[in-house]
Structure 1
């Protein structure tokens, strides 16, 4: 399990992570979401010991990552696909990692085949495309058969087949009982991959929930209404706070009122309704609604935040 307790990080006067607490449990894929500048990368770096918290703790299976005797067995991570020795071959890169934990070349070949790089194992990593670099980074994360895995934007640079492969891999890792934390900006992928979501904004926790619970809680779904009294019902619903659009006569798309509320109003005013269908909101809609007030970093603010991190 990966746990953050009141995790806080300052870069000078800039608060990157602010009293952040959450737990990532084994046996499920947890999506880690947030806008640019939300503090995701800093949080992941603190978990693996690359940044020191200003206060609070980040632990992997009950200990700080650096305190484990064999840390790669506890947690494998991909935070930057191209952070490798570019003149080394894929095989030698992985072998160097494997030997730190007593693994043989057999394990290297196993993970190379797992990520689809077996045929290019003896090519220098510096010649790899972004997608191939991602695959090599994932191989490095899995080299020690870890109990937990962190992958930051793992589908960057991958073609559709590669995206499907990542989706399947994450689910398989979780099904094996591993702790899986994956950061992504692709809401469509998180909607079909993640079992749980941790969402942050401006360094603070916004949600720790499932996809279904988030959508239900934010409540940004629409209701499709078919009625012969389109004009009259539209005016009525608008007076009660709804936003109504229409693509054709007699068809209303209603936001801001539930299907039950629409039905009650139509019945009260004796308007016939031929169809009343709630439309399930997407994860992207729910995410945008949730983070609406937590993504207001301007370009200048983001640049200042980056400069503060570099200076620190």
Structure 2
């Protein structure tokens, strides 16, 4: 379990993280999201004892990282997969890590097989592709068979088979009762992997909730309606809290009304419907909506989207 209490980190006058409190519980993959500059990397570094908080505290399995006698057995982390000695083989890199905390040689062989690097284990890690480097970084995180994992962008450079592999691996580890904190900018993959989300913006907590609730609360739902009488239905649905958009002649996208309510209104007016389908917003859409005002570096297109019409 990871517990952060009023975690704050300042660099001079700049606050990277401010009064951040959350708990990452075992048994589920927790996604850690935020725009660039939100403070995710700083927070993960404080979890792992690489940066000291200006105030507040963070613990892993009840202790600060530095208080664990054998940290690799408690916390497995990958913040930078390519932070390795490029002249060493993958096997010797893992063996050197194992030797520092009394991890047996057989565990090195086990994690090499888990991540699928057996055929290249004796090759210099400096010659690895990005995907192979990611697998080696994940092997390093798993080496101590830890109860807690902190992974930053673990699917970078992986092919579709590798992405499916890491997704299933993280779910299996969580199902074993481990704590898994996963940071990624790939919203489609986060939606398939994580059950819970912690979202920060400008160093502050924005959401701490399930993926399903986050999507529902942040972006809401819309209803796709198809009818030959789109103009008449648009007029019938008009209301102060209802938005009706149309991208096709006979199709309406309605927010602010349930599909049941739309169906009743259409029936009362004798309007035949060819389609009435609730549309759930994607995690990416929900994330973009929630963090719209928390983006430090904003593209011109997104700036225009935020301007009033």
1:230-264 Cα distance to aligned partner (Å, 9 max, x none): 11222444554413114243x21223443355346
From the superposition, tell whether residues 53 and 254 of structure 1 become closer, same or farther in structure 2 (CA, over 3 Å): same
Within 5 Å, give how 1:269-308 maps onto structure 2: 270-274=269-273, 275-298=275-298
Q: What is residue 207 of structure 1 aligned with on the other side?
A: 207
Q: 1:185 aligned to 2:188?
A: no
1:99-178 equivalences under 5 Å are 99-178=99-178
Tell me if 1:198 matches 2:198: yes
SS in 2 for 1:293: helix
Secondary structure at 1:103 match in 2: coil
In structure 2, stretches of 5+ residues that fail to align are: 300-309
- CA deviation profile, 1:81-135 (whole Å, cap 9, x unmatched): 1111111111111011111121222111110111111111111111111111111
Q: CA separation in 1, counterparts of 2:272 and 2:279?
A: 16
**Shift of the alpha carbon at 1:200?**
0.7
TM-score by length of 1: 0.90
Report how far residue 296 of structure 1 moved. Answer: 4.1
Cα distance between partner residues in 2 of 1:271 and 1:7: 59
Cα distance change on mapping 1:233 and 1:75 into 2, 3 Å: same
| Structure 1 residue runs of 4 or more that deviate by more than 6 Å after TM superposition | none
Instruction: Out of 272-281 and 156-165, give the one that drifted further.
Output: 272-281
Which whole-Å deviations, capped at 9, do the CAs of 1:148-176 have from their partners, x for residues lacking one? 00110000011111100100110111111
Gaps of 5+ in 1: 300-312
What is the match of residue 304 of structure 2? none
Q: Secondary structure at the match of 2:50?
A: coil
Q: Distance in 2 between matches of 1:237 and 1:278?
A: 16
What corresponds to 1:21 in structure 2?
21
Partner of 1:229: 229
State whether residues 242 and 256 of structure 1, in contact with CA within 8 Å, keep that contact through their aligned partners in structure 2: yes
**Which is worse superposed, 214-223 or 107-116?**
214-223
User: How many residues align structurally?
Assistant: 297
- Displacement after TM superposition at 1:290 (Å): 1.3
The answer on whether the counterparts of 1:220 and 1:285 sit within 8 Å (CA) in structure 2 is: no
Which stretch shifts more, 286-295 or 256-265? 256-265
For residue 21 of structure 1, report the CA deviation from its aligned partner.
0.6
Partner of 1:96: 96
